[in-house]
Homo-oligomer: A and B are copies of this chain.
């Protein structure tokens, strides 16, 4: 008795990012993309291929409206959140966040590193340290963008909190990779191997 598999429930968070940002300010799809990069970009990304279809369906559901503003020969499509949109967003914000599955390719290569040559592991660890610096620069830029934004204290605090965890994670990776490299050096010295 095989009834058709009813399959996956709606799980995309894209609508919520969109509604959240539109709750601060009406914007175009293009603006949404760049605002996402400049604010939540260090822990959340969206592509145009997700954004535009999402805007279309949110509009169909009545959670956002679109107005066409003439801009020279072009037309800007500005989206704004509606009252039902705000209500849906609030309800979602109250819900306990679902665990977002973590996938870390660096750790995968570390886990299997004993199958490759010994230099590869060190290389990956040093590369991770370089990326920590880049990440710090990204976080600093976001922090400045927040500082420039006219917003009340509570709003600013919520935004800054996300940067804070980003910094702590960067520190965790830095301490981990540094210690790992030091231990590998110590083991190599003890084993009498040449260090690359």
Contact = CB atoms under 8 A, between A and B. Distances in A.
Interface of A: 13, 16-17, 20, 23, 39-40, 42-45, 86, 89-90, 93-94, 96-118, 120-121, 123-124, 127, 131, 152-155, 157-159, 161-162, 164-165, 168-169, 171-173, 175-176, 179-180, 183-184, 187
A32 to B, nearest CB: 14
Nearest to A40: B111
Given A16-B108, A103-B43, A180-B161, A113 B97 contact: no
A112 to B, nearest CB: 4
A181 B135 CA distance: 25
A168 B178 CA distance: 13
A91 to B, nearest CB: 9
B172 A168 contact: yes
Given A114-B155, A115-B93, A121-B158, A108 B13 contact: yes
Contacts of A90: 115-117
Contacts of A86: 115
Contacts of A23: 112, 115
Contacts of A155: 114
A173 B165 contact: yes
A169 to B, nearest CB: 5
B89 A115 contact: yes
Contacts of A17: 108
Contacts of A154: 114, 118
Interface centre among A20, A45, A124, A165 (most CB of B within 10 A): A165
A167 to B, nearest CB: 9
Given A40-B108, A94-B116, 8 more contacts: A94-B120, A96-B123, A107-B162, A111-B161, A114-B154, A118-B154, A165-B176, A169-B169
